[in-house]
Structure 1
Amino acid sequence: MSAPQTLVQAALNRLSARFGSSLADVAASLAVLAQDAPERLKREWELFREEVELEADRLENGESVQSEMDVPATPAAGADPQEQIDQIRAQVARLARRLEEQA
């Protein structure tokens, strides 16, 4: 081979090697996602069910509408401080659990 032919052949070899490894990486990533998908769907379903149960409890108790991410509503005058603390702790636990599940 002449020098230009050698360079062209070398460039083609390197390009095919790079594209081949890139395609292999993409295929491996897709395989991992496919394996993790059922577990992730299960976690999301469980989280959704938990949120629905909490929302149903909230509606039954007549509590005000409030997101988990919001600051707790100002308690009514004379509300039990220990109950307020327990509610805040429960909210922190829910948020921590959601963060762990997303990681």
Structure 2
Amino acid sequence: MTDREIFRELPFPYEGDRFPPQLGALVQRTVLTGELPAREVIHAPDGSWMVGDGVNDPNSPGAAVVTHIAHVVDRNTSVASLATMPPGHIAKRGGPGEPWQIMRLVGWDDE
């Protein structure tokens, strides 16, 4: 592995309850640039991660990019606490400094 490699999923739970450096995520550009804070973090049933601003449509063309989840943690340090969130869950918060509320994903295909 190199520092530049990005993996969609890695064996869970993570060593030391920390995100592995090569773990990737689909991240809204507004979160990555710091324009808006991370307000939604999804650990999908397939082991992949998504991070959104909770405001804009992440499915709009060009709205999201794949990057290391470490870049999200650099801008939104509280996201690091979600490394123990199991697959099939979502964490939401109202904004910076507010606690993350973790709940089971509803309506996602578990296969």
TM-score by length of 2: 0.19
Computing the radius of gyration from Cα coordinates, the structure with the larger value is 1
Answer 1 or 2: higher relative contact order, Cα 8 Å, separation at least 6. Answer: 2
Instruction: Give the TM-score taking structure 1 as reference length.
Output: 0.20
Higher helix share goes to which structure? 1
Give the number of the structure whose residues are more often strand, by fraction.
2
